[in-house]
């Protein structure tokens, strides 16, 4: 075992379960052995060698002042890093101990504006397992609940140490859990013991997670311990009054608190408020829907182009965080929504006042974050000055409002919500204490203002007097001793000295003691100077100590007002988010939605909030209500079905975020959930079966949606054989219409479904119109009543730049298929020549059958009639050979292709013009046909 520094390092490392250890050695934090290699690899540091006990160990270090960015980089790569700080021992030596473990979910030092959540997840069963870690009752419990069982309920806590936000809830099942995890996007998740051991749940959690999963002491999740931690933190009364009565939620909350406490970030105190929420407070928007609607990132994973990115005009980090929260957690509470809408309304129509508000807010620092830094003791003088300057904005904002239309609006109320007297007191105290522009370190001095503390003032004065004495010493000495070339200065090795030019160095008085000879001068000290120096050092030390002490007191005062700072920060964030919504509304001609009872969604000239930014958008109407609850949306590919449906969902969601909406007018009934299923791009990438995923999503919707929900289905049943698909889509429509009764928009390429409108009272058809003239298709982007029976795949291929011969040929093939005629394969002559191979396309199998014999050159009458299980729908873009939709379902009696004579007869039969043919002639022709068919 190595001894010395390396030995100490390895011993400390042994005692922590962190991945890496950074140990302070003087002015550096060092990593040794394997840790040094890892850190050097990750962060591009140089590795040197440290010898200990005859062996040499890799060593990598970072300067003290630069630890934070390195820690941040390591933690963001998923490492948990223990930090051991050095302290002086009684005997004057140095020792070290681990003071904190920095983990992704407890990293305080973040420059990023986003919230940074730590999440804990517990499920029933965890408790008993804890209570009997090895006992048989635990096994029995597991067997009873089935450890593979993914049903809930789950208790979940979300803690953001950087802002002090602490939210707790109970969720019914894994779907809800995934939705919440996707929404909060935690940097770190701590699964409780049962969850941790359940592959299915863990896999589901991991799938959606960009953060890391950490293992934490099972004991912390135990009911008794957790309840204790929660009461300790928030007070028994609070815990009772907020209604935290679910044991699962308490356990999740307790474990989160224990983890924050144990990792030692020291921010536990910033968690001032326990927010318990019920899933029913918010619109149920599952993870799939959040992704489909591209709320915070696009399907491709980019932030740019998301709804949040489009709407975000906030000027502060906290405002951005809140806006994001509003969009991802839309509300059901009409009162709250009305309040937000009133504010947006007022702000939207008061451009000048709004601009002034935003300009003022622009100077605000992130009070929630500053509060957390103050409570953890890591806030420096500049950060306290930021608190001071931000608090000063409270009266400034009121002033910006006064005399404007906003003075009477709920915006002014929002500003009155925090305790303004206490905020002013704190501001005044900081203003009286801190220098205007204090240095960022606590050791430089100059942090505090004159007049703040008499003792400090006295020290400063004495310091100044002593310095003045020194400053004028050179002049005095010159005069007194008739010396020229005298200067007085100070450096680290010599302290204060009198420097005299060589030419006059032998004229110095005898009390001058020489301390150094330089090339052109000599340095001296005198007893008097040495005494002054000692005095200055004493004063400086006392001043530094006192200033530091006073500063710490000040910081503690600020830390003690964490809750107040959070309130003020929250009010600023709200105004920023509201002003952002108003700015967007005003700049893009959005309108205030009218909130209505559930069941209505009536939009006049609605647009897609994101697509309208980049496209010359064609607005469309939509009406869903009691009598008209289910719309089947048809139209060619690329015509705009999907956009139309998404814009409906987004308008619904925006209204329930408290935002204006892109429409001329909108009446929006408050819904309890928005559910969507659209093409499963990313699941494909994850290698899961698309059809399975599609059915899981459908299943989830059919289970979760209620009469008060909005459901968007963009194709159902596409991932399976045509008849399977139609049947499923058909049955799902009936179920949604008859049982669930949710308001639904359903885009389908199964034209058959449009007939449902004739049978189900609340189903109606709409289609996205196209203009087809001269062989060209123009997308009109206009939604009209009634079904369409055409789609225009070949045209889309043309638009996409598929080579002209292919497009022309596809058009040709399509015509044949429509007419159910045989198609000859070009250029595939078996004899090796060019020209044409006669082939028969068998519509029932979707492949070419050997029908060349006797087929005429046009292929006319060769195949298909009566055999088309998969008679074609017009032009899905799929290649010939793919199973196709039946435009009219046929009985699927499989028959061999009829012979050419039969086909000729049928063709003649088809061609007969009954109006022009005499009955007697008809009779004779029928007789002739009968003979030919024999
Ligand atoms: P579909 O679902 O019918 O295949 P999409 O909704 O994906 O079609 O729309 C196809 C394209 O048309 C998209 O690029 C979209 O930007 C554009 N688009 C859709 N609706 C409109 C509209 N109302 N106005 C202008 N462009 C639109």
164 contacts 96 by C-beta, under 8 angstroms: no
Residue 737, CA atoms < 13 Å, CB-side half-sphere: 22
Ligand 1 center to 640 CA (angstroms)? 3
Say whether 676 sits in a helix, a strand or coil: strand
Q: Which residues contact 879 (CB under 8 A, 6 or more apart)?
A: none
Residue scoring higher pLDDT (908 or 656): 656
Task: Report residue 214 as tokens.
Answer: 């950490």
**Higher-scoring residue by pLDDT: 334, 932:** 334
Q: What's the gap in Å between 686 CA and the centre of ligand 1?
A: 27
- List, in order, residues 6 or more apart from 38 with CB less than 8 Å away: 19, 20, 31, 79
DSSP state of 64: G
Instruction: Tell me the CA distances in angstroms from 418 to 273, 395, 404, 513, one per residue in order.
Output: 15, 12, 21, 66
1-25 pLDDT, tens digit per residue, is 677 888 899 999 998 888 999 999 9
Tokens at 57, concatenated: 């160990």
Residue 636 CA: nearest ligand 1 atom is 3
Q: How far is the CA of 299 from the centre of ligand 1 (A)?
A: 16
In this structure, the residue with its CA closest to atom 25 of ligand 1 is 617
Distance, CA 501 to ligand 1 centroid (Å)? Answer: 86
776-785 vs 825-826, strand pairing mode = unpaired
**Confidence band of 38 (pLDDT split at 50, 70, 90):** very high
User: What b/e sequence results for 250-289 when a residue is b if at least 16 CB atoms lie within 10 Å of its CB, and e otherwise?
Assistant: bbbbbbbbbbbbbbbbbbbbbbbbbebeebeebbbbbbbb
Question: Are the beta carbons of 626 and 391 closer than 8 angstroms?
Answer: no
Q: What is the dihedral of CA 573, 576, 577, 578, to 10 degrees?
A: 120
- The pTM (predicted TM-score) of the whole model is 0.77
Name the pairing type of β-strands 48-52 and 55-63: antiparallel
Please, are residues 354 and 315 in contact by the beta-carbon 8 Å criterion?
no
User: Partners of 284 in the beta sheet?
Assistant: 673
The verdict on the CB of residue 615 being under 6 Å from ligand 1 is yes
Alpha-carbon distance of 752 to 744, in angstroms, equals: 18
- Lowest average pLDDT, out of 440-444, 453-457, 483-487, 673-677, goes to 440-444
Per-residue confidence band for 864, with pLDDT thresholds at 50, 70 and 90: very low
Q: How far is CA 69 from CA 66, 74, 263, 334, 545, in A?
A: 6, 9, 18, 44, 28
Give yes or no for a cis peptide into 212 (omega within 30° of 0).
no
211 or 825: which leads in pLDDT: 211
Residue 874 C-alpha to ligand 1 middle, in angstroms? 20
What confidence score (pLDDT) does residue 886 get? Answer: 38
Residue that has been written with the tokens 């919440």 in this structure: 180
Is the confidence at residue 109, as pLDDT, over 80? no
Q: How far is CA 588 from the centre of its chain?
A: 25
What the block records as the tokens of 254 is 């307790």
Q: Which two tokens stand for residue 29?
A: 């934090």
User: Which residue from 377, 365, 373, 382 is spatially nearest to 441, judged by alpha carbons?
Assistant: 382
What's the Rg (C-alpha) of the chain? 39
Two structure tokens written together for 203: 């896999």
Pull the structure tokens for residue 468: 């003045």
* Confidence check: pLDDT of 877 > 80: no
24: which strand partners?
29
Does the CB atom of residue 639 touch ligand 1 within 6 A? yes
Work out the average pLDDT over 178-196: 90
Which structure tokens are listed for 819? 């007419």
DSSP three-state, residue 528: helix
Say how many Å lie between the CA of residue 691 and the centre of ligand 1. 24
Asked whether 640 lines ligand 1 (CB < 6 A), one says: yes
Spatial contact of 601 and 626, defined as CB atoms under 8 Å apart: no
888 exposure class (CB count in 10 Å sphere: 0-12, 13-18, 19+) = exposed
Q: Which of 613, 615, 643, 714 to mutate to test the pocket of ligand 1 (most atoms within 8 A of CB)?
A: 643
Average pLDDT in the chain: 83
Angle at 792 between CA 788 and CA 794, to 5 degrees: 165
Q: Which residue has the higher pLDDT, 492 or 611?
A: 611
Q: Which residue has the higher pLDDT, 403 or 149?
A: 403
d(CA 714, CA 467): 80
**635: Cβ below 6 Å to ligand 1?**
yes
Q: How far is the CA of 618 from the centre of ligand 1 (A)?
A: 9
| Sheet of strand 594-596: strand arrangement | 594-596, 665-669, 601-606, 620-624
Cβ of 642 below 6 Å from ligand 1: yes
pLDDT of residue 775: 61
Please tell me the distance from the alpha carbon of residue 83 to that of residue 266, in angstroms, as a whole number. 13
Tell me if 767 CB under 6 Å of ligand 1: no
768: CA distance to ligand 1 center in Å?
10
Burial code of 513-549, b = ≥16 C-beta within 10 A, e = fewer?
eeeeeeeebbbbbbeebeebbeebeebeebbbebbee
Tell me if 788 CB under 6 Å of ligand 1.
no
**Cβ neighbourhood burial of 400 (10 Å; 0-12, 13-18, 19+):** buried
Between 811 and 452, residue with greater pLDDT: 452
Instruction: Give residue 602 CA to ligand 1 midpoint distance, Å.
Output: 20
Q: Between 387 and 202, whose confidence is greater? A: 387
- Please give the angle made by the CA atoms of 424, 373 and 167, to the nearest 5 degrees: 90
Read off the pLDDT of residues 249-302 as tens digits, 9 standing for 90 and up.
999 999 999 999 988 667 788 888 899 998 888 999 988 899 999 999 998 889
Residue keyed to tokens 């050419």: 900
pLDDT of residue 444: 67
Reply yes or no on whether the pLDDT at 795 is more than 70.
Answer: no
Ligand 1 within 6 A of CB of 607: no
Distances (CA, A) of 833 to 806, 827, 855: 21, 8, 19
Ligand 1 pocket test, pick from 610, 617, 640 with the greatest ligand atom count within 8 Å of Cβ, gives 640
Q: Does ligand 1 have an atom closer than 6 angstroms to the CB of 646?
A: no
Question: What is the predicted pLDDT for the residue at 878?
Answer: 36
> Cα(278) to centroid of ligand 1, in Å?
37
DSSP 618: -
The token duo for 166 is: 């602490």
Strand partners, 673: 284, 709
- The whole-number pLDDT of residue 12 equals 92
* Residue 155 CB less than 6 A away from ligand 1: no
877 lines ligand 1 (CB under 6 A): no
Selection from 148-157, 221-230, 254-263, 665-674 with the highest mean pLDDT: 665-674
Tell me the CA–centroid distance for residue 780 and ligand 1, in Å: 10
Compute, in angstroms, the gap from residue 25 CA to the centroid of ligand 1. 62
Q: Which atom of ligand 1 is nearest to the CA of 614?
A: 16
The Å distance, Cα 82 to ligand 1 centre, comes to 52
Question: Measured from the CB, is residue 555 less than 6 Å from ligand 1?
Answer: no
CB distance 637 to ligand 1 below 6 Å: yes
Whose alpha carbon is nearest atom 12 of ligand 1? 640
Which stretches within 606-721 are classed as H helix?
A: 611-614, 641-655, 681-685, 690-704
* Contacts made by residues 692-697, CB under 8 angstroms, sequence distance 24+: 694/718, 694/719, 695/728, 697/288
Q: Are 529 and 508 in contact (CB under 8 A)?
A: no
Nearest CA to ligand 1 atom 2: 642
Residue 762 has a CB neighbour count (10 Å cut-off) of 18
Of all protein residues, the one whose alpha carbon is nearest to atom 19 of ligand 1 is 640
Query: Do residues 782 and 761 touch, judged by C-beta distance below 8 A?
Result: no
Ligand 1, atom 14, lies closest to the CA of: 638
User: Half-sphere exposure of 101 toward its Cβ, with a 13 Å CA cutoff?
Assistant: 21
Say how far apart CA 495 and CA 344 lie, in whole Å: 65
Query: What are the structure tokens assigned to 604, written together?
Result: 């006049």
DSSP string covering 452-496: S-HHHHHHHHHHHHHHHHHHHHHHHHHHHHT-SSEEEEEETTTEE
Ligand 1 neighbour 617 (Cβ under 6 A): yes
Q: Is residue 389 over pLDDT 60? A: yes
pLDDT bin (cut points 50, 70, 90) of residue 594 is very high
Q: Measured in whole angstroms, how far is the alpha carbon of residue 326 from the centre of its chain?
A: 12
What residue owns the CA closest to ligand 1's atom 20? 640
Q: Which helix (H) or strand (E) holds 773?
A: strand 763-773
Question: Given the CA of residue 635, which atom of ligand 1 is nearest to it?
Answer: 3
Q: Is the per-residue pLDDT at 818 higher than 90?
A: no
- In the chain the first and final C-alpha atoms are separated, in Å, by 102
**135 C-alpha to ligand 1 centroid (Å):** 61
CA of 293 to the centre of ligand 1 (A): 15
C-beta 641 within 6 A of ligand 1: yes
Q: How far is the CA of 291 from the centre of ligand 1 (A)?
A: 18
How far, in Å, from the CA of 781 to the mean position of ligand 1? 7
- Percentage helix, strand, coil for the chain under 3-state DSSP, each rounded to 5: 45, 20, 35
Q: Is the pLDDT of residue 361 over 90?
A: yes
Res 826: pLDDT: 58
């Amino acid at each position: 075992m190595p001894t010395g520094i390396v030995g100490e390092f390895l011993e400390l490392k042994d005692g922590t379960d962190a991945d890496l250890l950074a140990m302070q050695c003087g002015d550096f934090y060092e990593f040794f052995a394997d840790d040094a290699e890892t850190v050097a690899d990750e962060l591009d540091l140089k590795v040197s060698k440290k010898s200990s006990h005859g062996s040499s160990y890799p060593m990598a270090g970072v300067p003290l002042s630069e630890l934070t960015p390195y820690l941040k980089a390591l933690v963001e790569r998923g490492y948990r890093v223990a930090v051991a700080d050095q302290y002086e021992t009684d005997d004057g030596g140095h020792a070290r101990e681990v003071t904190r473990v920095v983990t992704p979910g407890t990293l305080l030092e973040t420059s990023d504006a986003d919230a940074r959540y730590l999440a804990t997840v517990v499920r029933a069963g965890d408790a008993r397992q804890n209570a009997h870690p090895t006992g048989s009752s635990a096994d029995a419990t597991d067997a009873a609940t089935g450890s593979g069982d993914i049903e809930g309920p789950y208790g979940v806590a979300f803690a953001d140490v950087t802002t002090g936000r602490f939210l707790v809830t109970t969720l019914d099942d894994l779907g809800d859990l995934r939705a919440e995890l996707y929404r909060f996007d935690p940097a770190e998740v701590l699964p409780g013991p049962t969850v941790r051991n359940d592959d299915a749940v863990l896999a589901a959690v991991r799938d959606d997670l960009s953060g890391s999963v950490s293992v934490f002491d099972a004991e912390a999740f135990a009911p008794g311990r957790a309840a204790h931690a929660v009461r300790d933190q928030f007070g028994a009364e609070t815990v009772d009054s907020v209604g935290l009565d679910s044991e699962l939620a308490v356990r999740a909350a307790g474990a989160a608190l224990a983890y924050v406490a144990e990792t030692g970030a020291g921010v536990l105190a910033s968690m001032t408020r326990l927010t318990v929420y019920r899933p029913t407070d918010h619109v149920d928007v599952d993870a799939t829907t959040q992704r489909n609607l591209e709320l915070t990132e696009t399907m491709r994973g980019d932030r740019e182009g998301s709804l949040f990115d489009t709407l975000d005009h906030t000027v502060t980090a906290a405002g951005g965080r809140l806006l994001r929260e509003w969009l991802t957690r839309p509300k059901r509470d009409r009162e709250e929504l009305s309040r937000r809408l009133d504010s947006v309304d007022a702000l939207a129509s008061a451009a000048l006042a709004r601009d002034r508000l935003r300009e003022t807010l622009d100077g605000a620092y992130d009070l929630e974050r500053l509060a957390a830094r103050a409570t953890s003791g890591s806030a420096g003088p500049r950060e306290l000055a930021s608190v001071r300057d931000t608090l000063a904005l409270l009266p400034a904002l009121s002033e910006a409002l006064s005399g404007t239309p906003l003075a009477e609006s709920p915006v002014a109320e929002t500003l009155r919500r925090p305790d303004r007297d206490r905020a002013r007191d704190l501001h005044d105290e900081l203003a009286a204490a801190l220098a205007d522009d204090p240095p960022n370190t606590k050791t430089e001095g100059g942090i505090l203002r004159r007049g703040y503390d008499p003792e400090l003032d006295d020290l400063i004065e004495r310091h100044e007097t002593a310095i003045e004495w020194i400053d004028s010493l050179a002049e005095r000495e010159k005069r007194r001793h008739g010396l020229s070339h005298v200067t007085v200065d100070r450096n680290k090795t010599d302290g204060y000295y009198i420097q005299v030019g060589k030419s006059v160095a032998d004229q110095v008085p005898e009390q001058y003691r020489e301390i150094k000879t330089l090339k052109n001068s000599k340095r001296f000290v005198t007893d008097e100077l040495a005494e002054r120096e000692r005095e200055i050092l004493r004063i400086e030390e006392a001043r530094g100590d006192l200033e530091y002490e006073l500063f710490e007191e000040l910081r503690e005062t600020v830390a003690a007002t964490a809750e107040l700072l959070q309130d003020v920060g929250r009010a600023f964030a709200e105004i920023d988010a509201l002003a952002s919504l108003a700015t967007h509304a005003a700049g893009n001609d959005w309108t205030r939605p009218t909130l209505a009872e559930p069941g209505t969604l009536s939009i006049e000239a609605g647009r897609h909030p994101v697509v309208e930014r980049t496209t010359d958008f064609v607005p469309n109407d939509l009406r869903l209500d009691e009598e008209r609850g289910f719309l089947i949306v048809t139209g060619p590919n690329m015509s705009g079905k999907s956009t139309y449906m998404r814009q409906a969902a987004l308008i619904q969601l925006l209204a329930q975020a408290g935002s204006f909406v892109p429409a001329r007018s909108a009446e929006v009934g408050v819904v309890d959930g928005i559910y969507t299923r659209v093409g499963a791009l990313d699941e494909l990438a994850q290698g899961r079966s698309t059809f399975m995923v599609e059915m899981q999503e459908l299943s989830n919707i059919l289970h979760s949606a209620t009469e008060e929900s909005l459901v968007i289905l963009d194709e159902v049943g596409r991932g399976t054989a045509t008849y399977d698909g139609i049947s499923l889509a058909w049955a799902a429509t009936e179920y949604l219409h008859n049982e669930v009764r949710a308001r639904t928009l359903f885009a389908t390429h199964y034209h058959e479904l449009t007939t449902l409108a004739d049978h189900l009272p609340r189903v109606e058809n709409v289609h996205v119109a196209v203009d087809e003239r001269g062989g060209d298709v123009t997308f009109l982007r206009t939604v009209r009543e009634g079904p369409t029976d055409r789609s225009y795949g070949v045209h889309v291929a043309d638009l996409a730049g598929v080579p002209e011969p292919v497009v022309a040929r596809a058009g040709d093939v399509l015509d044949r298929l429509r007419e159910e005629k045989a198609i000859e394969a070009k250029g595939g002559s078996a004899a090796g020549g060019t020209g044409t191979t006669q082939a028969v396309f068998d519509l029932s199998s979707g492949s070419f059958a050997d029908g060349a014999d006797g087929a005429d050159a046009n292929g006319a009458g060769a195949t298909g009639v009566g055999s088309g299980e998969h008679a074609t729908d017009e032009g899905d873009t799929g290649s010939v050979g793919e199973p196709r939709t039946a435009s009219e379902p046929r009985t699927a009696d499989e028959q061999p292709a009829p012979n050419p004579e039969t086909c000729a007869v049928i063709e003649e039969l088809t061609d007969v013009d009954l109006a022009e043919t005499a009955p007697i002639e008809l009779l004779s022709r029928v007789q002739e046909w009968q003979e030919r068919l024999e």
